[in-house]
Amino acid sequence: MIFRRILAVAVATALLPLWPGTAEAASRSTRFATFNASLNRNADGQLVADLSTPDNAQAKVIAEIIQRARPDVLLINEFDFDANGTAARLFQDNYLSLGQGGAQPIAYKYRFTAPSNTGIASGFDLNNNGAVVSTPGAPGYGDDAYGFGAFPGQFGMVVYSKYPIDVRGVRTFQKFLWKDMPGAALPDDPATPAPADWYSPEELQAFRLSSKSHWDLPVRVGHRTVHFLVSHPTPPTFDGAEDRNGRRNHDEIRLWADYTHPGRGGYIYDDRGRRGGLAAGEPFVIAGDQNADPDDGDSYQGAIHQFLDHPKIDSRFAPSSAGATEAAALQGGANATHKGDPKYDTADFADTAPGNLRADYVLPSKRLRSVGGGVFWPVSSDPLSRLTGVFPFPSSDHRLVWLDVKP
């Protein structure tokens, strides 16, 4: 677990207008955001190398999007983990702390990162192709790792915050075993008569539920602590009839659903061995690329509805953008057959399949009140559309999503 408190960087008080929110709203509320920034690289150490100078084109665009949205607390998905937190520090020093494209710098005094299950060799043949691949970067290695990745930490996470993070109160759930979830949606090998037997008993004794990790970060906002619950469930694709990734995605989402539902989280244990879910009445915000759309895509059993229909989660306000609506109409393909309103899409995926989806979420507990939010997806006529663009994207195939909340 790596946590670094860094010195504040002086920021001009006359900030550019928020896009598209208002400075007034930000001054009265706290802005939580999630951004799958695609700051992952193909080789261990490459992200550190890319961020060691202020000249990486993609990182500059990602930083400008963040500077224009100006979240107070931000989760970045697909940010390669390194044990010293060097990449996280360099992104602040060389990109966020420097004005990008006319935007004002943004300083985060606090950040948190921790190991990810991605790219950690399991020692098992998890894809059941008859071979155990344990050499990082070798073909098939990612499929046999605890979470898909070419090397340990690829596709990791980092959180930046303007408010203090209670490090002693942090709970991580990287090593929670899938089999220990009651009624787990374990995949079945369709070639055998036995149920839920895709993974052997030996594999289930080691198989971790989280494809990256789940973190409960207590953030001190004024006189109140808000639990920032972050994760990045695996995409429900890239598998076969057993639907092992779709089922895992469902249960990764379920972990937070049970954790925040009084009486349902007793089975959960964190990496320190502490058991139980979030205490009743504690305010929280769930954030992350959940890889699950409420109406479209390949989710298993409506996975994201475990959040959207949750009695303790306020899902009434859904961030949206005009850019997403425009993109769906211009791109057509699978988008034309979607059931959901495209204005809520947060990811620009292949037009053939699955099309654009709502994959990224910021969802507050009912103890908090949503007062605004949005998706950073400008229409093509907006000068800022240069930051999102079209494939191959200058930034990411996902869009930054934010929500402004008040107690």
- For the stretch 67-95, pLDDT in tens is 999 999 999 999 999 999 999 999 999 99
Tokens 């996470």 belong to: 157
In Å, the largest CA–CA distance within the chain is 67
Q: Smallest Cα–Cα separation from 99: which of 54, 56, 52?
A: 54
**What CA–CA distance (Å, rounded) separates 344 from 292?**
13
Q: Write the DSSP symbol of residue 400.
A: -
Backbone phi, psi, residue 21, to 5°: -70, -160
Burial 201-222 (b: 16+ CB within 10 A, else e): eebbebbbbbbbbbbbbbbebe
Is it true that the peptide bond before 383 is cis, omega within 30 degrees of 0? no
Half-sphere exposure of 188 toward its Cβ, with a 13 Å CA cutoff? 8
CB-based burial label for 64 (10 Å; 0-12, 13-18, 19+): buried
| Strand 284-289 to 215-221 pairing | unpaired
**96-121, pLDDT tens digit by residue?**
999 999 999 999 999 999 999 999 99
**What CA–CA distance (Å, rounded) separates 245 from 127?**
11
Q: DSSP assignment of 167-189, as one string?
A: GGG-EE-TT-BGGGSTT------
Backbone phi, psi, residue 70, to 5°: 55, 55
Which tokens belong to 222?
A: 């004024």
What pLDDT score does 10 carry?
A: 23
Tokens 């490459």 belong to: 46
**What CA–CA distance (Å, rounded) separates 55 from 57?**
6
What pLDDT score does 407 carry?
A: 86
**What CA–CA distance (Å, rounded) separates 322 from 342?**
9
| Strand 360-364 to 369-375 pairing | unpaired
Distance from chain centroid for Cα 302: 18
Distances 339 to 172, 296, 309, 343 between C-alpha atoms, Å: 36, 6, 18, 12
Residues with pLDDT less than 50, the chain = 1-27
Bridge partners of residue 365, in order along the sequence: 313
What pLDDT score does 28 carry?
A: 77
